[in-house]
């Protein structure tokens, strides 16, 4: 299995800077797809400018207590973001956009840039997956363990054409972790922790922990009969 899953064609226009799109409830993973509805005027301009340029946007998660400063450029964000590329766009008659953003790579916000734009931009350092030479797990076994566990608790994944397309490409462990993490519907806090983990072995440990927790909850619910089935009346 290759330890590289290149997205160089998508990243070749990256200049080291990108617009920031901070949200309180969305974490984008590399190799995952995020649908977005863009309605705020500042972000309509951001999307229009990105479409005229390199189509790149960095998704950032807002830190807690973001509400008082949401409309400013000072709402605090987590420094690890995901650089994504607008893969599909639809501009609506009133200027809003529907987008599908494809995650490309983890990145760290080094500094936010002063500008006259209504939205935030930043200088970013890309954070590729790290495979430690000091391997403390059997990565092939972990790959199968994660995939089997995900299929067990999320049987709908078995009919997901995108997942099967990725798996047929013999994707590396880091990519599998990101694809499954996106599919699990984790809380934003848990998803952000996985996004911040550049070391693939440790990321797979975290994901395996979530899978085991989910499986235990499902088994408990099946055994206890809770929640009960609702009456049709």
CATH of the domain at 22: 2.30.130.40
Q: Does residue 3 fall inside a structural domain? A: no
Do residues 116 and 43 both lie within one domain? yes
Do residues 24 and 59 both lie within one domain? yes
Q: Does residue 101 fall inside a structural domain? A: yes
The number of distinct structural domains making up the chain is 2
Do residues 112 and 151 both lie within one domain? no
The residue segments making up the domain with residue 82 are 8-127
Over the chain, what is the mean pLDDT?
Answer: 89
Q: What is the Cα 148 distance to its own chain's centre? A: 21
pLDDT at 166 over 70: no
The residues, any chain, with a CB within 8 Å of residue 111's CB and separated by 6 or more, are 122, 123
Q: Which of 95, 127, 159 is the last residue of a domain?
A: 127
Strand pairing category for 17-23 and 56-61: parallel
Do residues 117 and 149 both lie within one domain? no
Q: Which of 127, 158, 190 is the last residue of a domain?
A: 127
pLDDT at 225 over 60: no
Q: How far apart are CA 225 and CA 160, in angstroms?
A: 29
pLDDT at 175 over 70: yes
Q: Which two tokens stand for residue 228?
A: 């009960």
Do residues 154 and 110 both lie within one domain? no
Least-confidence region, from 34-48, 65-79, 170-184: 170-184
Q: Per-residue pLDDT averaged across 4-28, rounded?
A: 87
Do residues 121 and 158 both lie within one domain? no
pLDDT of residue 60: 98
Strand, helix or coil at 60?
strand
Q: Which of 82, 104, 127 is the last residue of a domain?
A: 127
Q: Does residue 1 fall inside a structural domain? A: no
pLDDT of residue 228: 54
pLDDT at 2 over 60: no
Do residues 106 and 180 both lie within one domain? no
Q: Per-residue pLDDT averaged across 42-59, rounded?
A: 98
Do residues 25 and 107 both lie within one domain? yes
Neighbours of 230 (CB within 10 A): 6
């Amino acid at each position: 299995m290759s330890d590289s899953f290149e997205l160089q064609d998508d990243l070749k226009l990256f200049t080291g800077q990108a617009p920031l799109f901070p949200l309180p409830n969305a974490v984008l993973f590399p190799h995952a797809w995020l649908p977005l509805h863009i309605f705020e005027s500042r972000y309509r301009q951001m999307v229009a400018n990105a479409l005229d340029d390199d189509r790149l946007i960095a998704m950032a998660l807002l830190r807690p207590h973001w509400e008082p400063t949401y409309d400013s450029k000072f709402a605090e964000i987590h420094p690890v973001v995901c650089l994504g590329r607008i893969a599909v766009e639809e501009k609506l008659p009133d200027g809003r956009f529907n987008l599908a953003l494809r995650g490309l790579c983890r990145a760290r916000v080094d500094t936010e840039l002063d500008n006259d734009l209504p939205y935030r931009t930043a200088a970013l350092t890309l954070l590729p997956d790290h495979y430690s030479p000091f391997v403390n797990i059997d990565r092939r076994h972990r790959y199968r363990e994660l995939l089997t566990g995900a299929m067990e608790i999320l049987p709908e994944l078995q009919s997901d054409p995108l997942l099967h397309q990725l798996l047929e490409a013999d994707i590396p462990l880091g990519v599998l972790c990101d694809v499954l993490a996106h599919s699990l519907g984790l809380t934003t806090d848990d998803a952000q922790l996985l996004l911040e983990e550049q070391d693939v072995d440790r990321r797979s440990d975290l994901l395996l922990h979530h899978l085991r927790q989910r499986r235990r909850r499902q088994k408990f619910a099946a055994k206890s009969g809770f929640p009960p089935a609702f009456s049709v009346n």
